[in-house]
Amino acid sequence: MNKAQKPHKADVPAHDAEGTAGLVTPKERPAWALSLAFHVGVLIVLYSVPQATYSGHNATELDSLFQEFNPEDYSFDTAVVETMGSQSDLDNPSPSQAAATTLSKTPQQEVQERLDEKVLAVESPQTADIPLPPENEFADVIDIQGQTENPGGIEGAVDRMAVEIDRSLLNRKTLVIWLFDESGSMAARRNAIADRFESIYKQLGALKSSDNKGERRPLKTAVVGFSDKTNFYTNEPVSDVDEIVSKIRNIKAAQSPDENVFTAVSQVTRKWLNYRRRMRYNVMVVIVTDERGSDYGEDGTALEKVIQLTRANGIRVYCIGNAAVFGREKGWVLYRYPDGFTEEVDVDRGPETVMMERLALPFWGTRGFGRYQMSSGYGPYALNRLCAESKGIYLIADEGRGQKFNQSVMRGYRPDYRPIRTYLKDVETNSAKQSLLKAAIMTREKRIPTLSLSFNAPNDNVLRTALNDAQKPVAELDFRLRELQAALEVGEEDRGKLAEPRWQAGYDLAMGRVLAMRVRAYGYNVVLAQMKGQPKSFTKKDSNLWRLKPNREITSGGAVKRLHKKAVEYLNRVVDDHAGTPWALLAERELSAPMGWGWSEAHRAMTTAGSRGANNPNRVLFVTDPKTGKKKRVMVNKKRPRPPL
């Protein structure tokens, strides 16, 4: 048989093949068997690997986004804890368990963190250090100008100005223009500043020095006074501190009550503008006054012009002045007359805002504040705005003898120092603001009356006459209060839109106080009518007077009780939301006494005819003469001409 005729192995019977009968060689095994064995082996290997269960759905779809990663980064500790008993580790999770319970991360989150680490781990190339500017230049750029500060009296204010002058001298040569109010009430303040000048200028290293040697730049000083006109006590700036002190001490009290401070600032700026433009001096104007100024104009035109002038030329304006009386135009200063007698005289010291945002309501039936008024914590609007716009500082040298408030709290109630036209446009956008200003104007145009709380009662006829007379102004009072309530209620819809704490507190206080006064007026009229119809009898033999005192019982009907509830709600909101502010103090004072009325009897000593009244002689007071230091007699009731303050 040739090679071509040799039979195929497949044709050979099984029992004739090599090896054991019934078995086939590896080469003779079918392909499907090999594939089956391979896949079974793979399944056995995979089965030995712990299964990681992914939380959430679509995990496979998300995992497909990450094709390459290091398996070692995702290995888990699967060691079985076998130790038992008190030393068992069963309470301590394995590292993998601890990681799972602490981090609670999905594999997707872990992959993202790995990617983030790769990005964050990229090192940035080193660059050269950028040198910081000199400290004095840095301080000149980032400073606290435009603020209101209370440095602690006139001495503290002068010391604070010394710091400002020193900072200016570190930058360049400086001209300081001291602008003094010539009012008689300012004599003590002018002398206090003169007393401190020599030591201050010694500290500045500028005493009688005008050369350019050393690190210090030249310091020039000018002294100017203002009242209804501007007086230049130094025709040109000087360097001699003795001359400066002498000029200040020789300022005479003006005979005019006007203080045209903004005109004076404009005049001194124009007079010495070449120091700023040509000679490259820093120029500082320091106003020393105790009032708000007479000439900024109702529409603020004069104020805006001087602001534009000083800002355009980089001239900073500072003021050593008094705090404005909170929400009031008038304040009180202690004035000493030439004969040595002293008394409090009213002056223009506020308000701290463009318009008066506080109602001029008396405290009736509760203790008020009298002349010891509250400090606003800020200067009068116009002066404070001038300082703020020119990057100067308003320094409070005197807060008065009234209630004072924490500066950190009051910063959240900063007045609006924008131009008057901007202020008024903003008011037009909210009816609550409009109604508050309208009500405040109404209380200024005509004084809100207070009613008597004491009634002589030597007999019933005298009592009835007194009660009848007391009821006559009640109708006028209630009419005025109803007008105020109606004006304020127009703005109730927009009350919730008020964003500024100052406006919120102002509106709520106004509404609460008006409603409280209405409740008291209703109750007052009711109890007077009851007493007039059926007079009470005294329980004590010497009683001859009936007094009304606050009482918690509201006897005026359901409508008045609803007013009472609403008043309390408004006042309590002021107390709760604006603690530590003047608004909260006024609300607390209104709530300090109940709004109902009750009767109490008392005794009043009756005076004999002629012992008081027109023939009463002037009282005599012994005072110290400011010139001689000796005691002398002064008539207290003597009429004195109003000082030009």
pLDDT at 623: 56
Which of 425, 449, 480 terminates a domain? The answer is 425
Q: What is the mean pLDDT of residues 152-176?
A: 91
**Number of domain units in the chain:** 2
pLDDT at 638: 66
Q: What is the mean pLDDT of residues 263-286?
A: 96
Give me 252's structure tokens: 């005479």
Which of 381, 396, 425 terminates a domain? The answer is 425
Is 468 a residue whose pLDDT tops 90? yes
Q: How far apart are CA 487 and CA 504, in angstroms?
A: 16
Is 214 a residue whose pLDDT tops 70? no
Q: How far apart are CA 575 and CA 581, in angstroms?
A: 9
When comparing pLDDT for 117 and 578, which is higher? 578
Shared domain for 389 and 446, answered yes or no, is no
Shared domain for 449 and 379, answered yes or no, is no
Q: What is the mean pLDDT of residues 488-506?
A: 96
- pLDDT (tens digit per residue) in 530-548: 999 999 999 998 999 999 9
Shared domain for 217 and 203, answered yes or no, is yes
Shared domain for 443 and 418, answered yes or no, is no
Band (153; pLDDT cuts 50, 70, 90): confident
Sheet holding 219-226, edge to edge: 148-149, 394-398, 316-322, 282-288, 174-181, 219-226, 230-232
Band (302; pLDDT cuts 50, 70, 90): confident
Task: Mark residue 525 as left, alpha or beta (left: phi above 0; alpha: psi -120 to 50; beta: remaining).
Answer: alpha
Domain membership flag for residue 12? no
Residue 145, number of CB atoms within 10 A of its CB: 14
Band (296; pLDDT cuts 50, 70, 90): confident
pLDDT at 210: 43
Domain membership flag for residue 87? no
Lowest mean pLDDT among 2-16, 83-97, 437-451: 83-97
Shared domain for 347 and 469, answered yes or no, is no
Is 470 a residue whose pLDDT tops 70? yes
**Across 400-536, where does the E strand assignment appear?**
454-456
Count the alpha carbons within 13 Å of 332 in the hemisphere toward its beta carbon.
13
Domain membership flag for residue 34? no
Shared domain for 421 and 439, answered yes or no, is no
pLDDT at 375: 86
| Segment of 106-115, 239-248, 510-519 carrying the highest mean pLDDT | 510-519
Band (45; pLDDT cuts 50, 70, 90): low
When comparing pLDDT for 153 and 298, which is higher? 153
598 φ, ψ (degrees, to nearest 5): -145, 155
Is 143 a residue whose pLDDT tops 60? no
Give me 263's structure tokens: 């005109």
Is 630 a residue whose pLDDT tops 70? no
pLDDT at 346: 78
- Characterize 424-442 residue by residue with b for buried, 16 or more Cβ atoms within 10 angstroms of its Cβ, and e for exposed: beebeebbbbbbbbebbeb
pLDDT at 624: 62
Band (90; pLDDT cuts 50, 70, 90): very low
Cα dihedral 47, 50, 53, 58 sign: negative
Shared domain for 162 and 301, answered yes or no, is yes
Is 322 a residue whose pLDDT tops 70? yes
Band (621; pLDDT cuts 50, 70, 90): low
- CB distance 395 to 320 below 8 Å: yes
Is 591 a residue whose pLDDT tops 50? yes
pLDDT at 46: 60
Q: What is the mean pLDDT of residues 523-529?
A: 93
Lowest mean pLDDT among 278-282, 480-484, 605-609: 605-609
Shared domain for 160 and 283, answered yes or no, is yes
Q: What is the mean pLDDT of residues 332-345?
A: 74
When comparing pLDDT for 292 and 52, which is higher? 292
Lowest mean pLDDT among 38-42, 56-60, 454-458, 572-576: 56-60
Lowest mean pLDDT among 212-221, 588-597, 625-634: 625-634
Q: What is the mean pLDDT of residues 461-470?
A: 93
Domain coverage including residue 255: 135-425
Domain membership flag for residue 384? yes
Shared domain for 366 and 261, answered yes or no, is yes
Cα dihedral 160, 163, 165, 167 sign: negative
Band (619; pLDDT cuts 50, 70, 90): low
Domain membership flag for residue 350? yes
Shared domain for 420 and 433, answered yes or no, is no
Q: How far apart are CA 425 and CA 377, in angstroms?
A: 26
When comparing pLDDT for 47 and 534, which is higher? 534
Percent of the chain with pLDDT over 90: 48
pLDDT at 2: 44
Which of 363, 397, 425 terminates a domain? The answer is 425
637 φ, ψ (degrees, to nearest 5): -85, 5
- CB distance 240 to 220 below 8 Å: no
Domain membership flag for residue 387? yes
Q: How far apart are CA 173 and CA 280, in angstroms?
A: 8
pLDDT at 145: 52
pLDDT at 138: 33
Domain membership flag for residue 287? yes
Shared domain for 164 and 295, answered yes or no, is yes
- In whole numbers, what is the pLDDT of the chain averaged over residues? 77
Which CATH number goes with the domain that contains 257? 3.40.50.410
Cα dihedral 436, 438, 441, 447 sign: negative
Shared domain for 221 and 327, answered yes or no, is yes
